């Protein structure tokens, strides 16, 4: 089948888009990506590009639509423009697709209407449940928006969520078919072998207590959305004061300028800017600890399933997460990292503990042996394939 994958995001760096497209390609489907660039030189136009996924060039039509991050309801005008422009593009090309695979409410609203009007299959993929992922939505609008998203779920031929816990988030909706697809890294076997070889080579320099104690700096790494909701500002401030630690950051969003400024001022902080998804692994492998510290006061974060938790499993890198974000349950279950309160005090205390007992990094890493198999990309990829096989065989009514 010909599948249009739509997300209000940059396809170049978006891991979720890569996962879906990878599974579709392997199962013989033809995907096309409809994405958006927020940081662009032009505006209100599409640029035809290609994204290489698993060695295959995939057509990517990228909407150039600027926006200021972190403006909440002030971006409603931009959101409406996004919806109108994407709707127009899809309707002009609607005969080229059998299925629309839409991420989140903004793209889902468009897909729902077009799939119904033109009798297309509709797969709705919830990366972020809208009312729980936007902290600035006034209470008066939350029920309206939630009902809108429930309507999308009920209309879709198939719905995807990223954890079992997120079933609680959508209670009250009536999905025709619901599938849990964890955010496991989408890597092929050749890339997996390369990663395994890199991991083994790195383990030689960080594999016992003596080497841990001799290592001059402990390197933390994060590549993704750079926002206060993910503790990035506090980590920048903290690491800038610690000569025995290094911080490697990549990504964009509201704190990208702060990250760039700190990288200029402090020799132990490095800012990479935007990083293609496949390249993120080499930076994580070169690090000692990963982190995904999400604010648990944001409802969506209580059901979070950051890519990094699964990437940490794959790479056997200890990870720091915040308590009450559901990721802490996984980390504590396997003793594969550290859980802290979402506070600078807890973070500082943890860094002191790690600095005084560097071998704890090696211990946590060894605890991760075999953990990734429970969440492997092979299993998640098969779940995606089964969704589309059911569509093709008419098993979803």
Average pLDDT for runs of 10 along the chain of length 397: 96 90 96 92 91 92 81 70 96 97 96 97 92 71 90 97 89 96 81 74 48 69 93 97 96 92 96 88 93 87 81 94 91 96 97 96 93 89 96 71
How far, in Å, CA of 318 to CA of 338, rounded? 7
**Considering only CA atoms, which of 37, 32, 30, 43 is closest in space to residue 13?**
37
Report CA 367 to chain centroid distance, whole Å: 24
Task: Count the Cβ atoms, other than its own, within 10 Å of residue 164.
Answer: 12
* pLDDT value for 208: 41
Phi, psi of 188 (to 5 degrees): -85, 175
Which tokens hold the place of 210? 């003596």
From CA 383, how far away is CA 98, in angstroms rounded?
19
pLDDT at residue 206, rounded to an integer: 42
Domains and CATH numbers, the chain: 2-184+376-392 (3.40.50.2000), 189-374 (3.40.50.2000)
Rounded Cα distance between 142 and 196, Å, is: 45
Sort strands 121-125 and 56-64 into parallel, antiparallel or unpaired: unpaired
pLDDT for 73? 53
Which bin fits 9, alpha (ψ -120 to 50), beta or left (φ > 0)?
beta
Containing 75, the helix (H) or strand (E) segment is: none
Describe the strand order of the beta sheet including 337-340 as a list of residue ranges.
269-271, 245-252, 218-225, 289-292, 319-322, 337-340
Hey, is 82 helix, strand or coil?
A: helix
What is the pLDDT at residue 123?
98
Report d(CA 307, CA 71) in Å as an integer.
25
Separation of first and last alpha carbons in the chain: 18
**Residue 252, SS3?**
strand
Cα–Cα distance for residue pair 3/100, rounded to 1 Å? 6
Q: Return the bridge partners of 252, or none.
A: 225
| Rounded Cα–Cα distance for residues 7 and 58 (Å) | 15
Among all chains, which residue has been given the structure tokens 């990228």? 62
Given a contact cutoff of 8 angstroms between Cβ atoms, the answer to whether 194 and 280 are in contact is no
Task: Give yes or no for a contact between 324 and 302, defined as CB atoms under 8 angstroms apart.
Answer: yes
Q: What is the pLDDT of residue 317?
A: 95
Q: How far apart are CA 290 and CA 7, in angstroms?
A: 26
Token couple for 363: 């211990």
Location of structure tokens 């695979």: 101
What is the DSSP annotation of 274-303?
A: S--HHHHHHHHHT-SEEEE---TTSGGGGG
Contacts of 80 (CB under 8 A, 6+ apart): none
Structural contact between residues 289 and 318, judged by C-beta atoms closer than 8 angstroms: yes
Distance CA 121, CA 114 (A): 10
Contact at 8 Å (CB) between 177 and 380? no
Can you give the pTM of this predicted structure?
0.78
**Cα separation, 47 vs 64, whole angstroms:** 7
d(CA 323, CA 320): 10
């Amino acid at each position: 089948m010909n599948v249009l994958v739509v997300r209000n995001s940059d396809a170049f760096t978006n891991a979720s888009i890569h996962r879906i497209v990878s599974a579709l390609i392997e199962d013989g489907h033809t995907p096309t990506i409809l994405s958006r660039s927020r940081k662009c030189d032009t505006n209100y136009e599409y640029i035809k590009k290609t994204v290489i996924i698993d060695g295959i060039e995939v057509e990517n039509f990228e909407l150039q639509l600027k926006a200021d991050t972190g403006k909440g309801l002030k971006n409603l005008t931009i959101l409406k423009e996004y919806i109108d422009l994407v709707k127009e593009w899809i309707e002009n090309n609607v005969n080229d697709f059998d299925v629309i695979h839409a991420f989140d409410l903004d793209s889902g609203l468009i897909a729902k209407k077009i799939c119904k009007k033109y009798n297309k299959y509709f797969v709705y993929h919830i990366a972020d449940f809208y009312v729980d992922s936007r902290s600035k939505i006034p209470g008066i609008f939350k029920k309206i928006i939630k009902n809108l998203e429930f309507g999308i779920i009920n209309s879709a031929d198939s719905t995807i969520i990223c954890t079992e816990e997120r079933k609680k988030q959508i209670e009250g909706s009536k999905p025709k078919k619901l599938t849990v697809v964890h955010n496991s890294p989408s890597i092929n076997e050749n890339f997996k072998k390369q990663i395994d070889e890199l991991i083994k080579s790195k383990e030689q320099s960080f594999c016992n207590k003596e080497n841990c104690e001799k290592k001059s700096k402990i390197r933390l790494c994060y590549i993704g959305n750079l926002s206060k909701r993910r503790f990035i500002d506090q980590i920048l401030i903290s690491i800038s004061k610690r000569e025995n630690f290094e911080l490697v950051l990549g990504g964009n969003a509201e704190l990208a300028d702060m990250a760039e400024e700190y990288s200029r001022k402090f020799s132990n902080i490095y800012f990479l800017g935007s990083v293609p998804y496949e390249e993120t692994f080499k930076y994580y492998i070169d690090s000692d600890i990963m982190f995904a510290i999400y604010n648990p006061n944001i409802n969506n974060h209580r059901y979070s399933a950051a890519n990094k938790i699964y990437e940490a499993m794959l790479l056997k890198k200890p990870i720091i997460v915040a308590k009450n974000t559901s990721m802490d349950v996984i980390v504590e279950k396997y003793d594969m990292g550290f859980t802290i309160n979402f506070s600078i005090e807890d973070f500082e205390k943890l860094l002191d503990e790690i600095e005084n007992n560097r071998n704890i990094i090696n211990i946590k890493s060894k605890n991760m042996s075999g953990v990734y198999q429970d969440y492997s990309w092979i299993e998640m990829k098969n779940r995606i394939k089964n969704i589309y096989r059911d569509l093709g065989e008419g098993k979803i009514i």
